[in-house]
Structure 1
Amino acid sequence: MPEQLWLPGLEAPPTPTDGLFFAVFPDVNTAATISKLAQELCADTRVRSKPLAANRLHVTLLHLGNFAGGLPPDKVDAAIRAAASIHMAPFTVGFDAVASFGSKPRPGPLVLTGGEGVVGLHALHDALVHALQHAGFGERAGSIATSYVPHVTLAYGMPWAAERPVESACWNVREFALIHSLLGRTRHVALARWPLAAAES
């Protein structure tokens, strides 16, 4: 049997092990309310999908990438510098609909979405994108400025369903965090948190 040629350019890329993103989290009471809704929605569909635990519910502000073999220190440092430069007053968010993020008719994530109630999240997202570009995060700082849809993931592998209204879930956003996601291990570790406060005049 002839030997196979070794083509370094065709080798499979390493599997990502670590993710990095900015997020905000609901307060304990709101998280419990959202968790209860997720449980009810999962029960209504009669599928095996499990709702996310209350302590894992969050809104991703900005996903900074997935990496193999640990987080790049330079990316973490740039993200921290960018976050430290943010000056924004606390604001209220409200999510008042559930929608599928999968491609019809395939199963996918079921999420909470909002209309006017998520304007503050858009503003914080845009401020972070701008700050990252000035903090030397790299080329990805420009590519992450794509369309942003604030949402709270309730469960994965849910049947596709049209968007429909639900009782609004609201809370006051008083801080945001930089999160290290241990991919495949359902663990999120907060690397740092920043309180929201308006710039002093």
Structure 2
Amino acid sequence: MPEQLWLPGLEAPPTPTDGLFFAVFPDANTAAIMSKFAQELCAGTRVRSKPLAANRLHVTLLHLGNFAGGLPPDKVDAAMRAAASIRMAPFTVEFDAVASFASKPRPGPLVLTGGGGAAGLHALHDALGQALEHAGFGGRVGSVVTSYVPHVTLAYGMPWAAERPVESMCWNVREFALIHSLLGRTRHVALARWPLTAAQS
């Protein structure tokens, strides 16, 4: 019968419109260097891929979810409480390789990665994960399939390529931010920022 098509169980889920994540951003000078490097990489391929603008370059610390119809206030509040509890000294991050996150032979993201130079990011990622649990954020945070791999996405739609070393790009991480991503609209809005300060003795 026609009315069966409108059963709740058969309705398509709403399309996510808003994302929430923690991130760190390179300083303006480092972002400009990364952006120029991304432009050079894109120019060296035959695909129509555009590099990310310098002001959009970042490292995601934790992805907290995508939502339809706006961000849930309770999730934002819990994330804010978790972030405010973090006590960590500033640290230096270094990226010294470029790698493809594409599924060969399909195109995909081209990213900067780092080995030991990303240790501080791992520590901040773990601290935020624990703080979110204590703040009652609820649900699973990040990916349960893959481990955390700190990276800076330079461009999307790039052909697969083997990882290779590049000239080191580094900066001092002195703060982190909670970001509202307007999905499909290429906009990131910083909801709040927190300075990294060592725990008081």
TM-score bracket for this pair, using the shorter chain length = over 0.9
Q: Give the counterpart letter for 1:18 in structure 2.
A: D
CA contact (8 A) 2:19 2:183 kept: yes
Q: Does 1:127 align with 2:127?
A: yes
In structure 2, the partner of 1:66 is: 66
In structure 2, the partner of 1:159 is: 159
In structure 1, the partner of 2:21 is: 21
Residue 11 of structure 1 and its aligned partner are, at CA, apart by: 1.0
Local SS of the residue matching 2:2: coil
CA contact (8 A) 1:79 1:135 kept: yes
Q: CA RMSD in A?
A: 1.4
Could you say if the C-alpha distance between residues 190 and 116 of structure 1 is closer, same or farther in structure 2, counting changes exceeding 3 Å? same
1:1-201 superposed matches below 5 A: 3=2, 5-6=4-5, 7-141=7-141, 147-201=147-201
Could you say if the C-alpha distance between residues 177 and 43 of structure 1 is closer, same or farther in structure 2, counting changes exceeding 3 Å? same
| Overall identity of the aligned pairs, in % | 87
Q: Give the counterpart letter for 2:4 in structure 1.
A: L
Residue 105 of structure 1 and its aligned partner are, at CA, apart by: 1.1
* 1-structure distance, mates of 2:35, 2:47: 17
CA contact (8 A) 2:62 2:142 kept: no
Q: Give the counterpart letter for 2:180 in structure 1.
A: H
* 2-structure distance, mates of 1:139, 1:166: 38
CA contact (8 A) 1:129 1:145 kept: no
CA contact (8 A) 1:62 1:144 kept: no
Over 3 Å off, 4+ runs = 141-146
Q: Give the counterpart letter for 1:57 in structure 2.
A: L
* 2-structure distance, mates of 1:101, 1:9: 35
Residue 92 of structure 1 and its aligned partner are, at CA, apart by: 0.2
Residue 46 of structure 1 and its aligned partner are, at CA, apart by: 2.4
Local SS of the residue matching 1:39: helix
* 2-structure distance, mates of 1:43, 1:77: 43
